Structure 1
């Protein structure tokens, strides 16, 4: 799915507004990022710190425009601001939270709650001692090559249930 030039411009302008807010707050200039609109999978967006790049998921944007303007763009801009201010720190650590909550006046949510049905690929069923898990094809292929995944709750190995 391709975004219109108008959508791309609106997203970039929203990012610019947050950069201006950060510049006023910290009384310093920040380098502006490049924007790409080719993020895939379930991620709404990603910030590539060393490349000073923000990637946006066009499929999720089309059905969640308001959430992108209110939360996704400030979330990714906050990553770049945090990196430019503090260097390499925890991705959603106290510095990033400070930028989100104090500078941008947004909740410091680490994940989105968007409906990812339209972007979810084939899932593979795995079982642990306590429940059933759905793994992506990427993780399933890693298991086939010898990687192991543990349940976060019971800490037992995930075992493939079969097709």
Structure 2
């Protein structure tokens, strides 16, 4: 792929750092300033061929596009041209591999006279710091920890 990027676009990708520390629902991401591509380790282990032939090429296409046209849209016509030239037959903006979320969102349960609500950590902490109070949208009663 380096020869192709070099001959077609004059961009050397041999010094691109590839790390496998991306978590969550993204398959890959590129940071052109750091010359780094981060790939989702879980997806690389489960779908090595798809990650190599599609996601890696997708991210390299972003790097090459940014190198030759820094103001190009992330998935615009320039990127699509570069992606096709690098071997992606049908460049897509998203993947369809099943993923797990990077973090679990903890909820805090609060109740009133008629209902129970799951509040976010942010709202829970505002209540604890006495910065906010929340009331039931039906009975109007102040929510209290369940």
Q: TM-score, normalised by structure 1?
A: 0.59
Q: How does 1:1-163 map to 2 (within 5 A)?
A: 18-26=1-9, 28-31=10-13, 32-117=15-100, 119=101, 121-122=103-104
Q: How many pairs align?
A: 114
Q: More helix by proportion, 1 or 2?
A: 1
Q: Residues 93 and 120 of structure 1: is their aligned pair in 2 closer, same or farther, counting only changes over 3 Å?
A: same
Task: Give the unaligned 5+ runs of structure 2.
Answer: 107-119, 126-146
Shift of 1:121: 3.8
Cα distance in 1 for partners of 2:68, 2:59 equals 14
Shift of 1:123: 5.8
Alignment root-mean-square deviation, CA: 2.8
What secondary structure, in the 3-state scheme, does the structure 1 residue paired with 2:22 have? Answer: coil
> 1:12 is matched with which residue?
none
Q: Residues 88 and 123 of structure 1: is their aligned pair in 2 closer, same or farther, counting only changes over 3 Å?
A: same
Q: Residues 116 and 99 of structure 1: is their aligned pair in 2 closer, same or farther, counting only changes over 3 Å?
A: same
Shift of 1:108: 1.2
Q: TM-score, normalised by structure 2?
A: 0.65
Task: Give the unaligned 5+ runs of structure 1.
Answer: 1-17, 125-139, 146-163
Shift of 1:141: 6.0
Shift of 1:60: 1.2
Contact 2:4 2:86 in 1 (8 A): yes
Bigger radius of gyration among the two: 2
